[in-house]
Amino acid sequence: MASADYVIVGAGSAGCVLANRLTEDPAVRVVLVEAGGRDRHPNIKIPAAFANQFHTKFDWDFATEPEPHCHDRSLFIPRGKSLGGSSSMNAMLYVRGRPLDYDLWEREGAAGWSWDDVRPYFLKAEHNERGASEHHAVGGPLNVADERSPRPLTRRFLEAAERVGIPRVADYNGPEQDGASLVQVTQRNGRRWSAADAYLRPALSRPNLEVRTGAHVARVELDGDRAVGVVLRDRRGREELLRADREVLLSAGAIGSPQLLMLSGIGPADHLQGLDIEVAVDSPGVGANLQDHPYVVCVWESTAPESLYGADKPRPTLEWLLRRSGPLTSTIAEAFAFVRSRPGLPAADLQYHFAPAYFVDNGAEEYDGHAFTMGPTLISPKSRGEIRLASSDPTAKPRIRTNTLAEPEDLAALVTGVELAREIAATEPIASVRGREIYPGADVRDDADVEEFVRRRVDLLYHPSGTCRMGGEDAVLDPELRVRGLEGLRVIDASVFPVIPGGNTNAPTIMVAERAADLLKGRVPAPAASAGA
Ligand SMILES: Cc1cc2nc3c(=O)[nH]c(=O)nc-3n(C[C@H](O)[C@H](O)[C@H](O)COP(=O)(O)OP(=O)(O)OC[C@H]3O[C@@H](n4cnc5c(N)ncnc54)[C@H](O)[C@@H]3O)c2cc1C
């Protein structure tokens, strides 16, 4: 097809959902365009191998500019570049966030996105192997499972957490998030279950869907105030126009979508003029409002051989190949604890990721022995960053600044997070197998030391969001995700979140795309606030 009704840019978490749902109607023609290639590599399929994709051809391999509040360190931002996008690279942790996250979206101007509005779309997406209940559904495309083979160290963490006063919760996606629990994961039969597995593959045989891989979109083609297609550019610089008779849907992710808007002349006018890009719509919010979840690693040696150390050896590999069980089914983070860093907060602001493994420097730093890692993660950060173009070249990486730890509140919460991690590690039954504290380390003692440690070691948990936010007067998108000031163009991915939810962002992105598909089909009544788009 050189033209289609809808052209979707990006076969990631959101793009795969849209490709499936829109082609349910055989009369609707869709082309899905993906810059990356296929998703067959073992590092995609084997859960514990996800970090092996970093800095490879499956990764856009972004990084921030020197961060002023983190000692001018550049923070790593991996993004999936294959069918499935970041859902083919992520750690598979299935977390929805809290009802109050979505009620906040609505208060921020995203009419129609309150918890009551979005809950049915989480359920529509879900097939939970625990079965249907008040809070969960079966029959949806996204397979959600319990971890198959959690390490014994993980049970020790859960028991120690309970002894320091963090209650056990059976279902952090249920009525109560606060507490500690084993994770649920987007896997099926011990293998990653990406958005491509869940949504794209079942639709591939439909004649009204075309998928183009290895196709880099350079910009959106505009005719006056209407988007009429996208321009693809190959390695030699040759361009091809792909026409969209109804709409162009940008699902290129929270870095890619604002970048593409700006390359198409939609963004802050002064910034675009500075790069000699003709301004089509002056939209100062494009690329602004960047949010992510910062975390620090606290790591101890383990005197018990109960970790993921050696998971890549022949025996566990054979176990995974033959039985789809064993340590290679691990998502590295095997348990959570959601806690409040101080009294008076309406919900948990810290999410501990517990890994029965040495996970330092995004998995890049090697360690020869058993260890465990607690990653207190700030899930309601106040700091905001931005994305700007580095040049008008569509293949150039954009300039990213997150301003991580700019807000003192964010730093204070993470300092409390480190202190509580130490308390848990000093409590039985994990205390008796705790060896040397590797991070923060024995020389990090008082609050000032811990603050310094956090600034030196903080990283981002791979959840960039909010860079084309919906709702609100100066928002880029109206609540139906249409780009304000233009016709025929929507953004549908993690960039639309007005505020990052309190948990990992894959399930919320899939929910957004499920609801967006219904908006496109006219199945959702238009909320009053969207009328003046
Ligand atoms: C390492 C890692 C671990 C994570 N762990 C978890 C987790 O455990 N649980 C969780 O809930 N979330 C996790 N996340 C976050 C979650 O996966 C993302 O929030 C979610 O996948 C975002 O979906 P998206 O549709 O917005 O973008 P993506 O899934 O990133 O999709 C964007 C797609 O657009 C394509 N694209 C971009 N630019 C162009 C262009 N110019 N032309 C053509 N195609 C283009 C990309 O290649 C990509 O396929 C993790 C993410 C990463 C990277």
| Pocket flag, ligand 1, residue 86 (CB < 6 Å) | yes
- Among the listed residues 127, 293, 353, 463, the single catalytic one is 463
Element (DSSP H or E) covering residue 158 = helix 152-163
d(CA 79, CA 67): 19
Q: What is the number of the ligand 1 atom nearest to the C-alpha of 503? A: 11
- Is 463 an active-site residue? yes
Which of helix, strand or coil describes residue 419? Answer: helix
Strands (DSSP E) found in 28-82: 30-33, 62-63, 76-77
The one-letter amino acid at 320:
W
What pLDDT sits at residue 526?
60
What pLDDT sits at residue 530?
42
Q: What is the number of the ligand 1 atom nearest to the C-alpha of 83? A: 49
Q: What are phi and psi of 374, to 5 degrees?
A: -115, 125
In sequence order, the β-bridge partners of residue 477 are 470, 483
Q: Which residues of the chain have pLDDT under 70?
A: 1, 525-533
Centroid of chain to Cα 265 = 26
CA 159 to ligand 1 centroid distance, Å:
33
Output the CA–CA distances (angstroms, integers) from residue 198 to 14, 52, 186, 193, 506, in the order listed.
Answer: 12, 22, 10, 6, 13
What pLDDT sits at residue 531?
37
Cβ(199)–Cβ(369) under 8 Å?
no
> What are the residue ranges spanned by the domains of the chain?
1-42+81-147+190-292+463-533, 149-182+294-378+409-457
Q: Could you tell me which CATH number the domain at 1-42+81-147+190-292+463-533 has?
A: 3.50.50.60
Kindly report, residue by residue over 58-90, the tens digit of the pLDDT: 999 999 999 999 999 999 999 999 999 999 999
CA 195 to ligand 1 centroid distance, Å:
10
The one-letter amino acid at 427:
T
What pLDDT sits at residue 472?
81
Ligand 1 atom 37 nearest Cα = 252
Q: What is the number of the ligand 1 atom nearest to the C-alpha of 33? A: 43
Ligand 1 atom 4 nearest Cα = 90
State which of 9, 88, 90, 184 you would mutate to test the pocket of ligand 1, scoring each by most atoms of that ligand within 8 A of its C-beta. Answer: 90
Cβ(330)–Cβ(147) under 8 Å?
yes
Q: What is the DSSP string of 179-201?
A: EEEE-EESEETTEE--HIIIIIG
Kindly report, residue by residue over 227-247, the tens digit of the pLDDT: 999 999 998 889 999 999 999
| Pocket flag, ligand 1, residue 467 (CB < 6 Å) | no
Domain 149-182+294-378+409-457 grouped into CATH 1.10.20.140 = no
CA 11 to ligand 1 centroid distance, Å:
9
What pLDDT sits at residue 20?
98
> Can you read off the two tokens belonging to residue 522?
């006219």
d(CA 473, CA 149): 48
What pTM was computed for the model? 0.97
| Nearest Cα residue to 62 out of 255, 260, 233, 218 | 255
Q: What is the number of the ligand 1 atom nearest to the C-alpha of 15? A: 25
In sequence order, the β-bridge partners of residue 385 are 290
State which of 60, 86, 290, 459 you would mutate to test the pocket of ligand 1, scoring each by most atoms of that ligand within 8 A of its C-beta. Answer: 86
Cβ(421)–Cβ(439) under 8 Å?
no
Output the CA–CA distances (angstroms, integers) from residue 427 to 307, 431, 437, in the order listed.
Answer: 18, 5, 14
Q: What is the number of the ligand 1 atom nearest to the C-alpha of 95? A: 11
d(CA 31, CA 23): 10
Strands (DSSP E) found in 379-519: 386-388, 399-401, 434-439, 459-460, 489-491
Q: Exposure string (b/e) for 148-158, b if CB count within 10 Å is 16 or more? A: bbbbebbbbbb
State which of 87, 251, 389, 512 you would mutate to test the pocket of ligand 1, scoring each by most atoms of that ligand within 8 A of its C-beta. Answer: 87
User: Cα angle vertex 362, ends 357, 367, to 5°?
Assistant: 45
| Pocket flag, ligand 1, residue 219 (CB < 6 Å) | no
What pLDDT sits at residue 525?
67
| Pocket flag, ligand 1, residue 338 (CB < 6 Å) | no
